[in-house]
C-alpha cells in the first residue's frame, strides 16, 4: 500500500526533472538585430534611390526653364535662331538633362543589383529573372548612352551653328542631315529605355518584394507609353525620368528605410 504512491511520486519527479532539463537546453533570447546582409541590401536600395531621385530632380529643373521647351519643339530654322537668342539657358538645360541621364543610368544599374539581392527583400525568383535583369540593365545603359550622344550634339554642333547664324551667317547645308542623324540616336534610344522599363516593371511585379507592386505597374505603363510614342514622332525624355525612374527611386528609398527593421538573424 505504501509502494504505489512512492512509484507515482517517483514518476512525477522524473517528469519534472526532464522538463527542467529540456528548459535548460534552450538558451534565452537576449537580442534580435539585423545582420550584415540586411545592411548591404539597404545600402543598395539607398544608392539606387539616391541616384534616381537626383536624376529626376535635374529633369524637373530643366523643365523649369521656359525657353527650353520652345526650342526643342521648334523646326530646324527656328530652333537654331532660338538657341542663339537663349544660348545660356539652352546650355544649362542640356547640362541638366545630361546630368539627369548620367545619374539615372547608374541608379538603374544599382536597382538591378538590389532586385537580385535576397537581402533587399527578394522572394524566390524564377530561373529567367537574372537574365531578364541583365537585359533590362543593358538596355537602359545603351539607351542612356544614345541619349547622351544626342545631348552632346545639341551642346556642341547646334550651338556652333546658332552662333554663326546670330553673327549674320546662314545655316550650313550639312547641318540638317547631321541633326536628323542625331535625332535618330534618340529615336533608337527611347524604345530601348522603354523596353528596359517594361522589363524592370515585370521583374518587380513577379520576381521580387524589394519594391511595392505599384512601382512595377508604373514602370510597365511608362515603358509602354514611351514605346508607343516613338513611331508617333518622338518621346519626350521627361516621360522616362519623371513618370518612371523618379517614382522608382522614391520607392527604393522608402523600402531602404524599412529594411533594417526586418531582422534576419537572432542573437541568443
Q: What is the pLDDT of residues 24-65, one digit of tens each?
A: 454 444 343 445 556 667 788 999 999 999 999 999 999 899
- What is the predicted pLDDT for the residue at 258? 80
- What is the predicted pLDDT for the residue at 22? 46
Query: What's the pLDDT tens digit per position in 113-155?
Result: 888 876 555 544 444 568 889 999 999 999 999 999 999 999 9
- What is the predicted pLDDT for the residue at 95? 95
How far apart (Å, rounded) are the C-alpha atoms in residues 226 and 237?
A: 9
The pTM of this model reads: 0.78
Least confident of 1-15, 34-48, 237-251, 254-268: 1-15
Half-sphere exposure of 257 (CA within 13 A, CB side): 7
- What is the predicted pLDDT for the residue at 17? 47
Residue 190 has pLDDT above 70, yes or no: yes
- What is the predicted pLDDT for the residue at 259? 65
> How big is the CA angle at 112 (ends 111 and 115), to the nearest 5 degrees?
85
- What is the predicted pLDDT for the residue at 40? 67
* Domain range annotation of the chain: 25-267
Amino acid at each position: 500500500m505504501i509502494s504505489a504512491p512512492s512509484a507515482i511520486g517517483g514518476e512525477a519527479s522524473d517528469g519534472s526533472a526532464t522538463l527542467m532539463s529540456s528548459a535548460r537546453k534552450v538558451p534565452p533570447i537576449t537580442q534580435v538585430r539585423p545582420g550584415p546582409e540586411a545592411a548591404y541590401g539597404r545600402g543598395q536600395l539607398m544608392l539606387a534611390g539616391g541616384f534616381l531621385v537626383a536624376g529626376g530632380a535635374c529633369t524637373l529643373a530643366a523643365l523649369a526653364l521656359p525657353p527650353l521647351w520652345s526650342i526643342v519643339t521648334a523646326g530646324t530654322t527656328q530652333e537654331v535662331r532660338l538657341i542663339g537668342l537663349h544660348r545660356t539657358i539652352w546650355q544649362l538645360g542640356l547640362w541638366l538633362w545630361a546630368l539627369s541621364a548620367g545619374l539615372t543610368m547608374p541608379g538603374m544599374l544599382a536597382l538591378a543589383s538590389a532586385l537580385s539581392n535576397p537581402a533587399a527583400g527578394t522572394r524566390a525568383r524564377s530561373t529567367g529573372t537574372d537574365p531578364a535583369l541583365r537585359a533590362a540593365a543593358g538596355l537602359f545603359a545603351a539607351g542612356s548612352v544614345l541619349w547622351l550622344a544626342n545631348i552632346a550634339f545639341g551642346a556642341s554642333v547646334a550651338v556652333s551653328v546658332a552662333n554663326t547664324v546670330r553673327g549674320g551667317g546662314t545655316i550650313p547645308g550639312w547641318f540638317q542631315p547631321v541633326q536628323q542623324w542625331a535625332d535618330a540616336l534618340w529615336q533608337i534610344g527611347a524604345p530601348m529605355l522603354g523596353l528596359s522599363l517594361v522589363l524592370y516593371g515585370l521583374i518587380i511585379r513577379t520576381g521580387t518584394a524589394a519594391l511595392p507592386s505599384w512601382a512595377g505597374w508604373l514602370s510597365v505603363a511608362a515603358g509602354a507609353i514611351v514605346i508607343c510614342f516613338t513611331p508617333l514622332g518622338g518621346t519626350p525624355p521627361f516621360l522616362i525620368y519623371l513618370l518612371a525612374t523618379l517614382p522608382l527611386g522614391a520607392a527604393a528609398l522608402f523600402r531602404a528605410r524599412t529594411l533594417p527593421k526586418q531582422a534576419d538573424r537572432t542573437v541568443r
